[in-house]
Amino acid sequence: MNNKSNKEIIEEISLKKNEPLWMLEFRLKALEYYSNTKTPTWGADLSKLNENSIEYYIKPVKDLQYDWADVPEDIKKTFDDLGIPKAEQEILAGVGAQYDSELIYKSLKKEWSDKGVLFMDISQALVDHKELVEKYFATVVPYHDNKFAALNSAFWSGGSFVYIPKNVEITVPLQAYFRINTQAMGQFERTLIIAEENSKVHYIEGCSAPLYRKNSLHSAVVEIIALKGSQVRYTTIQNWAHNIYNLVTKRAFAYENAHVEWVDGNFGSCVTMKYPSVILKGENSKATIVSLAVADNVQHQDVGAKVIHLANNSCSNVISKSISKKNGRSSYRGLIAVAENVTGCKSAVKCDALLFDNAQSDTYPMIKIKGECDLEHEASVTNISEEQIFYATSRGITSEKAQAMVINGFVGTFINELPLEYAIEINKLLAHQMEGSIG
């Protein structure tokens, strides 16, 4: 830890990034709110998170690069192992890679930049497209939304800025990787996606970190503005080390006829608290949230979804899957709210939990209906027993294949929402994490 005060660190970050005065003032107000707000106790246990031991900002080893060949070799190897260059060449419209506190690599194919698409480090966007950033920044997630949104707002560094012009449809995904590579650090990236009228984009986020002896903190904020008739899909695959506290605020505004989709995969971390949210502000707007959480050993995946219907004929669909094993704990925490005088809404929520040995699963649904809504809520908890595996093996199926069949069938809804390349990786990850769960 350096000996600078939090205020001095913020002033240093803001000066280094050449930020306008309004952003520095925003950061300092957020710091004050964070300092005066108690750590939440209603969710996962955060008592072992020592925020005073966290390094809030790690200076980049090298400035942002646009050519993969110019990235330092040690960093390049890390991301080579994750498949970034190969993925960029084969299937992606653009790639960004963040290493600790800063984005170190960014590339967008000319086909899309020629159409006015912007995909860049959000700090650079604050310089090059300051009117857009100032117009939308913190309008979806204000600094006073919660303690960790305030922490992010004070110390944010790195993250993506995406802007899709009117009537532009990106036919292949944009992708960002976020890597924590220093122990006892905080990563506070901030992502802002603006989809103009009748535009379409799929953004994929991957996160990872090695295992160190000291805990680290990932506290991101994601804001999506889906304007009239736009379609935005945000896919997250997070595979953190088991000593990462993953405390994230993700929220979208969906306007008339817009459709926002969250596809959210949570692996690793010691604690995750994340509830992707959509506020349906326009008539005929739609929200789809599909999530998968895997809790192993003493992990607690406290995840869920929130949808607030503010407009007539808005529609939401929430599908939550969780797998818990070896004393792991998965919690679904959800909210469906319909505002007063709103009519013609539809909402469906389905929560399924799969348990092994001494694992635990909880469901905390909240429903607030003041208007008119056709609502369905369904939840199930299933155990895989040794008897079920024995039945399958008696038909000539190995116990490993029998277990894989059950798990693959259970998570099929989530897997089907992923591009083929990512579905294969998730299946491999599941197979690795579930190894030895039965027998």
What integer pLDDT is reported at residue 240 of this predicted model? 76
Name the least confident of 60-74, 142-156, 317-331, 414-428. Answer: 60-74
Choose among 355, 406, 405, 357: nearest CA to 380: 355
3-state secondary structure of 19: coil
Name the least confident of 152-156, 237-241, 432-436. Answer: 432-436
User: How many other C-beta atoms lie within 10 A of the C-beta of residue 132?
Assistant: 16
Distance CA 316, CA 367 (A): 13
Condensed to tens digits (0 to 9), the pLDDT of residues 342-369 reads: 999 999 999 999 988 778 999 999 999 9
Q: In degrees, to the nearest 5, what angle opens at C-alpha 432 toward C-alphas 426 and 434?
A: 100
The DSSP code for 33 is H
Distance CA 149, CA 229 (A): 29
Report yes or no: 189 and 57 within 8 Å, Cβ to Cβ.
Answer: no
Distance CA 243, CA 15 (A): 32
Question: Beta strands 345-355 and 315-324: pairing type?
Answer: parallel
In angstroms, what CA-CA distances link 191 with 204, 228, 296, 432? 12, 20, 29, 30
In angstroms, what CA-CA distances link 172 with 80, 91, 95, 139, 160? 21, 7, 11, 28, 17
Choose among 396, 392, 395, 373: nearest CA to 438: 392
**C-alpha 257: how far from chain center:** 24
Q: What sign does the CA torsion over 395, 401, 407, 412 have?
A: negative
Condensed to tens digits (0 to 9), the pLDDT of residues 81-126 reads: 545 445 544 444 444 454 444 444 445 566 777 889 898 888 889 9
Q: Which two tokens stand for residue 329?
A: 């704990």
Say which residues have a Cβ less than 8 Å from residue 295's Cβ, sequence separation at least 6: 301, 322, 323, 324, 325, 328, 329, 330, 359
Condensed to tens digits (0 to 9), the pLDDT of residues 213-258 reads: 457 888 999 999 999 999 999 988 887 778 889 999 999 999 999 9
What integer pLDDT is reported at residue 332 of this predicted model? 96
Residue range 194-204: average pLDDT? 95
Helix (H) or strand (E) holding 21: helix 21-35
Choose among 289, 87, 277, 70: nearest CA to 174: 87
